Amino acid sequence: MITLILIGLNVLIFILTVISDPAFLLTPSIQAIVQWGGLEVDLVMAGEWWRLISSMFIHLGAIHLLANMYALYTIGFFLESIVGRVVFLTTYLTTGILSGLWSFLMHQDTFYVSAGASGAIAGIFGAYIFILLTPMIPKASRDKLLKNVGYIIAVNIGYGATKGMNIDHAAHLGGLISGLCIAGIFYLFFYLWSQKFKTIKKMWLRWGSMTAVFVLTLVVSFSTLYNRQFSDYAIFSKLTKEFGDVEKEMWKDLNELPLCQSTPQALTKFETNITHKMQSLRRIKEAMVLLQLQGKKDNLRNYLIDYMHLFDQEFHFTQLSLQEDTLKYKSEIIEIGKKITQLRQSFDASFKSH
């Protein structure tokens, strides 16, 4: 019953995301994923902890949804029939939260967005494997059930092959390990103890152990995330993303200037749309200078600082040209453009050599 409800809920949310943005059917944008509750590292660090739960129900395309729901359907009904609804639901939600938490910890120094039920499914998969290795399952049934494990692994490998590196392995590992642990707790407190202490009601053991597990999960998540500070690498990733967004908008506005019918109109557009964006780039550059970075991140930071410096110079001469309605700064603007091109080529060659 819980398995069907979870499948229905995932499908319903997916339909809603597709209605809001048809791109969700194949490859949604990062902005859309975040808007719908995807796990974005800097937002979680900023206090939006609820994303550890919401991200479990957001899928990145129909194939992603089908692969996860097939795994949930295949494992879910069997595991739920063995451990019961309370334990199954607790395992799903708890491992989903812990897999998201582990993904956050592994990617906290990067700009990273994750979504999907695969962490929670890895959790019930871990519980499924643990239960198969206990006397709770007759030996005669194990071979057939282990074949199901093989089918599920094959489906996930096939899906992984289509997505390349865009797989959150940290979430899968976190879910798998936490699922094994929760199944171990269930086996100890419910199966073994209920055999030894006949007078203790099984329902009490089930509810008590799973309530303790869920509360402990919330405590661990809270204590891990509470008052957590951004590292310089996390700040750099956030600034890099902001730089990309601002630069894209600035180039769009700059390319539209020649379309203006007069110099005053171009100047008005320039000062209205571009000036405050340049101020944002200056703020980003100043923040990047203060960061303590090493290796490729340091090289990228230095490149971006040099790029923004040249961009600022081009902005200055373009503004003067419009204010004075003159072409006498054209040579300076062209020369700066050449330096920007050389800087880009040097940067590309440097990173390709690595």
- The per-residue pLDDT for range 82-115, each reduced to its tens digit, is 888 888 988 999 999 988 888 888 877 666 788 8
Q: Would you name the residues annotated as active-site residues? A: 118, 172
Mind listing the pLDDT tens digit for each residue in 260-296? 666 787 778 777 888 888 888 899 999 888 888 877 7
Model pLDDT, residue 262:
66
Mind listing the pLDDT tens digit for each residue in 78-88? 888 888 888 89
Residue with more model confidence, 234 or 301 = 301
Superfamily (CATH H level) for 2-225 = Rhomboid-like (1.20.1540.10)
Model pLDDT, residue 65:
92
Q: Is the pLDDT of residue 346 over 80?
A: no
Average pLDDT over every residue of 124-144: 79
Q: What percent of the chain has a predicted confidence (pLDDT) above 90?
A: 10
Nearest to 215 by CA among 121, 125, 97: 97
Q: Is the pLDDT of residue 158 over 70?
A: no
Model pLDDT, residue 332:
87
DSSP string for 114-151: E--SHHHHHHHHHHHHHHHTSTTS-HHHHHHHHHHHHH
Q: Is the pLDDT of residue 6 over 90?
A: yes
Q: Is the pLDDT of residue 352 over 60?
A: no
Distance from C-alpha of 273 to C-alpha of 254, rounded to nearest angstrom: 9
Range with the poorest average pLDDT among 7-21, 97-111, 258-272, 306-320? 258-272
39: β partners? 114
Categorize the per-residue pLDDT at 5 as very low, low, confident or very high, splitting at 50, 70 and 90: very high
Measured at the CA of 153, the angle between CA 151 and CA 155, to 5 degrees, comes to 70
Q: Is the pLDDT of residue 354 over 50?
A: no
Range with the poorest average pLDDT among 101-110, 187-196, 223-232? 187-196
Distance from C-alpha of 217 to C-alpha of 120, rounded to nearest angstrom: 13
Give per-residue burial for 276-311: e unless 16+ CB within 10 Å, then b.
ebbebbeebbeebeeeebeeebeebbebbebbbebb
The set of residues, in sequence order, having a beta carbon less than 8 Å from that of 237 and lying 6+ positions away, is 41, 42, 109, 110, 111
Model pLDDT, residue 206:
63
Q: Is the pLDDT of residue 163 over 90?
A: no
253: Cα separation from own chain's centroid = 30
Q: What percent of the chain has a predicted confidence (pLDDT) above 70?
A: 80
Distance from C-alpha of 136 to C-alpha of 192, rounded to nearest angstrom: 10
Distance from C-alpha of 98 to C-alpha of 93, rounded to nearest angstrom: 9
Model pLDDT, residue 195:
57
Distance from C-alpha of 16 to C-alpha of 121, rounded to nearest angstrom: 22
Domain boundaries, the chain: 2-225, 232-353
Q: Is the pLDDT of residue 196 over 60?
A: no
Residue with more model confidence, 189 or 66 = 66
User: Would you tell me the crossing angle of helices 169-186 and 118-132 to the nearest 10 degrees?
Assistant: 40
H/E element, 112? none
| Residue with tokens 């007069």, as numbered in its chain | 262
Nearest to 254 by CA among 322, 185, 353: 322
Report the relative pairing of strands 39-40 and 113-114 from DSSP bridges.
Answer: antiparallel
Q: Is the pLDDT of residue 353 over 60?
A: no
Model pLDDT, residue 200:
46
